Structure 1
Amino acid sequence: MCRNHEPTPFAELNAVLAELAGRAAAILGADFVGAYLQGSFAVGDADPHSDCDFLIPVHRQVTGEQEAALRALHDEFPTRPDYWAKRLEGSYPVLAELRTLDGLGRPWLYVDNGWREMQWSTHCNTEVVRWSLRECGVTLVGPPPSTLVDPVPASVLRERMRADVPGFVTEMESWISFDLAWAQRYAVTTLCRMLNTYVEGRVTSKRAALLWAQTAVDPRWRPLIERALVERDLGWDPDERPSPGSVGETLEFHRYVQGRMS
């Protein structure tokens, strides 16, 4: 078994992750495969505003008893005063479903960032998560992630981006409003990441995608991208409104990105 004693730059988060992995292993017993980070803490540029995306693969679907214990575990974490205990997001995938793309569409036991109630969801069951885990995953405990997931071809990532970009704005508006400055910045950043994945055939960090887009897109979009880059450290503020005209520019940028993939 492979252990990483300092998986993140944040001591408090490392303690939370060690507890998560240990308690999950105790609950799952022989069904426990390992515990890993993907997302920002794997592909790079994670900061105090980042979610901490984890995967804890299991050899078989969790039993009713195991599910009840995991639900109790994740119900308790967000009630703590610790900042990072409220930032966990991840799934418990069945290893056979995680290994290949044939497992796409299968729901896994999942907890959303800051939520106390788990759900069965396909949120983490994507091509991007598989690529991020295999190529960049951080091992908390368990075998190397490259031994758990088959390679995800660049062509598969490109097709996923081409399929997802047209409905991106509609999907986003189903869970957040563009009246929030955070949402406007998130949209610009995510569109840059999607375009970068389409062009490069790999997954990169939010910051790296914004830096790449400054020179990779039409110059007229550079001010929009530079603002998102400068303001990304502001984090979540429910009272902050987007700068005048930025939402309209963002919607136009969405159409531009979609055109680049057509």
Structure 2
Amino acid sequence: MTPYEELDGVLTRLAREAREILGDTYVGTYVQGSFALGAGDLHSDCDFIIATTVLPSGAAEAGLRELHDEIPTREGLWTKEMEGSYADVASLRTVDGMGVPWLFCDHGLRELIWDTHCNTPHARWILRNRGIVVDGPPIASLVDEVPPEVLRDEMRAALPTVIDDIRAWASFDVAWTQRYAVSAVCRALYTIKTAEVESKRGALAWALDHLDPKWRPLIAQAMADRDLGWDPDQPPRPGSLDETFEFAASVGQVR
């Protein structure tokens, strides 16, 4: 499934435990995100979707909350790097289901919330086109193709506010956030151009070849520094933050 045996074990156990809790409403467990795109590494979280016939409620919801409160306490790296949602098949199938909150496990947290975080066109595209089956029926039987213009419109809408949107949940005093912002802009531009979704690393590589050469040093810096990982005490490289803001502003109205 993934390059990491330990992660495969975490995913297999999650599928088994979710099936036990959900009973007849369980459909299947799938990987999307960076691992589905072939770019997952030790700096990635693991994005999952567990499909259900109906949204969890009552005893099933309570059981899932108890499960995800306990998973990060288990030994190992990947038990603390899981992020995903429990999606009912009706709202998962097409983009008409966007706006429906799914029971969501945020990265590394223990309390599930109802959120639309995973209910997006790009998550559906990854799932449909690159998703990994952990357990359950083929993904194509659950998720329809995402219309190209829906993907493009999502990224066109995101670009003008990308910096403010990131600032709402991450501090730009940390180098990781600066690198994340550069890759987020490149991923948006890639989707607008191709109507497909690429990993952060893949989008940065594409941007090196396709964007204005003036941005190559910034993009190369974001690529090279990825292996530094998350360090809350590491500030951005001198000048990189202002250049990142300029980069985002310069492409903010791309059509």
TM-score band, normalised by shorter chain? over 0.9
Matched, 1:221 2:246: no
CA distances 1:78-99 after superposition (whole Å, capped 9, x unpaired): 1123110000100001100000
1:236-251 correspondence runs (5 A):
236-251=230-245
1:3-152 correspondence runs (5 A):
7-152=1-146
Matched pairs, number? 255
Q: What is the identity, as a one-letter code, of the residue corresponding to 1:69?
A: G
RMSD: 0.8
- Separation (CA, whole Å) in 2 of partners of 1:177 and 1:113: 17
- Separation (CA, whole Å) in 2 of partners of 1:147 and 1:41: 21
How far did residue 62 of structure 1 move? 1.2
How far did residue 169 of structure 1 move? 0.9
CA distances 1:61-90 after superposition (whole Å, capped 9, x unpaired): 212100000001000011123110000100
CA distances 1:119-150 after superposition (whole Å, capped 9, x unpaired): 00000000001111000000001111111111
- Separation (CA, whole Å) in 2 of partners of 1:167 and 1:225: 19
- Separation (CA, whole Å) in 2 of partners of 1:214 and 1:127: 25
State the partner residue of 1:203: 197
Q: Is the 8 A contact 1:35 1:54 kept in 2?
A: yes
- Separation (CA, whole Å) in 1 of partners of 2:250 and 2:88: 38
- Separation (CA, whole Å) in 2 of partners of 1:41 and 1:210: 17
Gaps (5+ residues) in structure 2?
none
Query: What secondary structure sits across from 2:180 in the alignment?
Result: helix
Q: Is the 8 A contact 1:59 1:95 kept in 2?
A: yes
Query: What secondary structure sits across from 2:85 in the alignment?
Result: strand
Q: Is the 8 A contact 1:44 1:204 kept in 2?
A: no
1:151-166 correspondence runs (5 A):
151-166=145-160
Q: Is the 8 A contact 1:33 1:142 kept in 2?
A: yes
Q: What is the identity, as a one-letter code, of the residue corresponding to 1:99?
A: R
CA distances 1:192-246 after superposition (whole Å, capped 9, x unpaired): 1111011011001111111110011111000000001111111000111111111
Gaps (5+ residues) in structure 1?
1-6
How far did residue 257 of structure 1 move? 2.0
- Separation (CA, whole Å) in 2 of partners of 1:180 and 1:124: 25
**Which runs of 4 or more aligned residues in structure 1 lie more than 6 Å from their structure 2 counterparts after TM superposition?**
none
Find 1:175's aligned residue among 143, 161, 169. 169
- Separation (CA, whole Å) in 2 of partners of 1:27 and 1:80: 19
Q: Is the 8 A contact 1:214 1:226 kept in 2?
A: yes
Query: What secondary structure sits across from 2:64 in the alignment?
Result: helix
Query: What secondary structure sits across from 2:234 in the alignment?
Result: coil
- Identity, % of aligned pairs? 53
